[in-house]
Amino acid sequence: MPKTLVIAEKPSVGKDLSRVLPGPFQKHTGTQDKTERWLEGPEHIVTWAVGHLVQLADPDEYDEKYKKWRMADLPIVPKTFKLVVRDERSQKQMAVVKKLLRDDDVDLVVNACDAGREGELIFAYLFEQAKAKKPVKRLWLSSMTNDAMREALANLRDSEETAKLEQAARSRSEADWIVGMNATRAATIRLRSSFDGAVSLGRVQTPTLAIIARRDEEIRAFVPEDYWLVDATFATADGRRYEGRYQDLTKKSDKPRIASAELAQAVVDAVSGQSGSITKLTKTEQKTIPPLLYDLTSLQRDANTRHGFSARRTLAAAQRCYEEHKALTYPRTNSKYLTTDMVPELKDIVGHVGRHDEYSAAAAYVSSLDLLPLERVVNNEKVGDHHAIIPTNSPHKLEKMSSDDRRIYDMVVRRFLAIFHPEAVFENTKIETTVFEHQFRTSGKVLIVPGWRGVYGEIPEGDKTSAEEDEGRDQSLPKLEQGEAVDTKKVESAAKQTKPPRRYTDASLLGAMEGAGKLVDDEELREAMTETGIGTPATRAAIIERLIDVGYTERDGRALVATEKGLNVIRLLDNHPLTSPSLTGDWEHRLAAIEGGTETRKKFMEDIAKFAGETVGVLDTTLKDVRIPRANLGPCPVCGHDIIENRKGYSCWAREDPGCGFVIWKGKAGKQLPPAIARELIATGVTAKQVTGFKGRSGRSFRAKLALQQSEDGKWRVEFDEAWAKEGAKPPEGEDETTPPAAGAVTASGAAKEAIAAVAKESGDKKGTEAA
């Protein structure tokens, strides 16, 4: 009997589909291991791609000469792109998929990869690599309810309906390969005397680096200015007290900053011990609506702000909650909405989470509603590949979750319950107190109706800007009346300085990447980026980690700081289009036109080849004679000669002067030690704090203190200054996935990698970018 082969993007989706297809299904494992590879029923065979099994081949697959990086060979623009299976793990699953595609019993193939551009690409590459010829139908699915899956399976689309989407997907992938590959090679060739390893460039990572680097340049150029604030404590006749901050009414800005210590002291002297009155008191009601459901980016931003999680750490936890615990829905989504077919399940989901004590009260309220408020929750038009992240309609075993998984689960559950609660209502009080002609302002805020905030209890309002901090804190105020007389009990001035812009954290950088369209001047291109920004929700975490891996950025606590290498790359590129999000805007605009049939793939790719050639020419010219000065770390502790940075380390020897041979090698357990760490080791012999980002043999990271030690033969070495190292034990592994960074931990930049294939796929490869 002929069978239909269904190819999903991941095992979990394949297994979900098997629930609604005619069964029973028999599990099949690979011949070399016990990994489940496919399911077979009476009418269907279900297997999966496990993300991108197939990728574009590296240049040396086209010609052996490309193994050497030479400017004369650029630009590299294949007439026809070659495909290769990604890695050993992918080889095993690909062998199964290829075998099933060639099975004589299979007469129809269903593309059940994710509904979107990248899902189309995953299947197209897989199908092409397998040299399959069988007819294909498209399953278009954005909701995983049983009813939605049954309806989609009953209404399979002809492959011709998504042919233009496939063209756009291939165009995006090949364009990223052409631009990333050629720009990286050109920059690396011209800067090899200045930088160790590849100078990795790409359409997504380079504008992201530019965002960080330009903020760091602003901070470096920032010149603080002194100012003063004056605070007073007032009391009524019967002892009710409150605080006020002086406002300089002579300035148009109406801000509390005073320009000099003398002027501030004059205010203090004028009002000290004097009487005044409450000249204005207003009370207003403020209502706040619950936040929308989580998409991946908003979840990552919130987890970074609340728990200090990196974007990658949040994604890993959300993925475990989805795949292992079956407690959360698919996390790699850019939608904050649900589809109409999910409405019947919502109260069942509330019932599941309400079985846990910490959510029972909030869940009971939602369950008691006759009609759920769905206006802001359900919107089919705003659900693309996947709906918002919510709890699943199944029992959730919280005791089996790790600390990270539990925190991410908690955030999603509370956000899900909160959106069905009413507005929170605050009473805001504003007071103006006048002593002679001097005016002081006071603000107070009281929560009257908890509404959705009751789901969270006390939650922080978020970081305030410097200007908001100047306005003073919200107080819990006593009962006060306009016109009341008050006495000035205490008054003092405080010296302050203006602060530079804040460095980017994972949270703020994710927001900048998501909203990068705001940085684009052209209205059409800005509109094209409305739904995308830089990268995708699935790839942004990987982009941040790649910038760290190639040595462009490092972590300082929660802050992301551009290294000298990263700053120099952006400085040298100047305002090249690669540094601007407008390049992504242009591509998205044209890719959408390819999907809509108003632009041809051929014309787009011709323009990409032209752009790559122009970029190579610009980099060849502008970087040809660039020599970036190496860091001077001061005198050698042995011979007194200057220790100078070179490509491999920091040493006192050079061609002109051999020095004494003292050297600190940069490479240490998969990390490149930056000048700051070497300088500290030379000065004190040890690092005061742990350095993060070393890699164990398994590839997982750890942190450790370092010490500079001299061996019996007189050679100097950098060793781990930890108890486990002295005992000859293995380093602790995987801490970056389970615990937040130690306070004040120092991050050393990663060794630069020639990750060319990863560069090419940086903006769209859901699985590949994580592995890169």
Question: DSSP class of residue 336?
Answer: -
CB 759 within 8 A of CB 206: no
d(CA 341, CA 146): 10
Six token digits for residue 379 = 């919107």
The one-letter amino acid code at 168 reads A
Give CA–CA dist 494/509, Å, rounded.
33
Cα separation, 295 vs 587, whole angstroms: 24
- Between CA 432 and CA 280 the distance in angstroms is 5
Please give the Cα distance from 573 to 568 (Å, whole number).
8
The rounded distance, in Å, linking the Cα atoms of 401 and 77 is 48
What gap in Å lies between CA 196 and CA 751, rounded to an integer? 8
Write down the residue that tokens 């970029």 correspond to. 615
19 three-class SS: helix
Single-letter amino acid, residue 449: V
> What does the alpha-carbon distance between residue 622 and residue 425 come to, in Å, rounded to a whole number?
59
Nearest to residue 46, comparing CAs of 97, 122, 90, 121? 97
Q: What is the dihedral of CA 29, 30, 33, 39, to 10 degrees?
A: -20
Q: List Cβ neighbours of 384 (8 Å cut-off, separation of 6 or more).
A: 115, 116, 142, 334, 335, 531
Tokens of 168: 């756009």
Residues in the chain: 772
Catalytically annotated residue among 125, 242, 294, 330: 330
Tokens 């203190």 found at: 705
Residue 337 is a catalytic residue: no
Give every CB contact of residue 686 below 8 A, 6+ residues apart in sequence: 680, 705, 706, 707, 708, 721
The string of DSSP codes covering 138-205 is E---S--SHHHHHHHHHTPEEGGGGHHHHHHHHHHHHHHHHHHHHHHHHHHHHHTTTSSS-----TTH
Q: How far apart are CA 609 and CA 210, in angstroms?
A: 24
Residue 152: how many other CB atoms lie within 10 Å: 20
Q: Which residues contact 388 (CB under 8 A, 6 or more apart)?
A: 292, 293, 294, 295, 329, 333, 335, 336, 337, 338
Closest to 47 (Cα-Cα) out of 14, 76, 23: 14
Structure tokens at 486: 């008050």
Q: Pull the structure tokens for residue 467.
A: 């200007």
Residues with a known catalytic role: 330
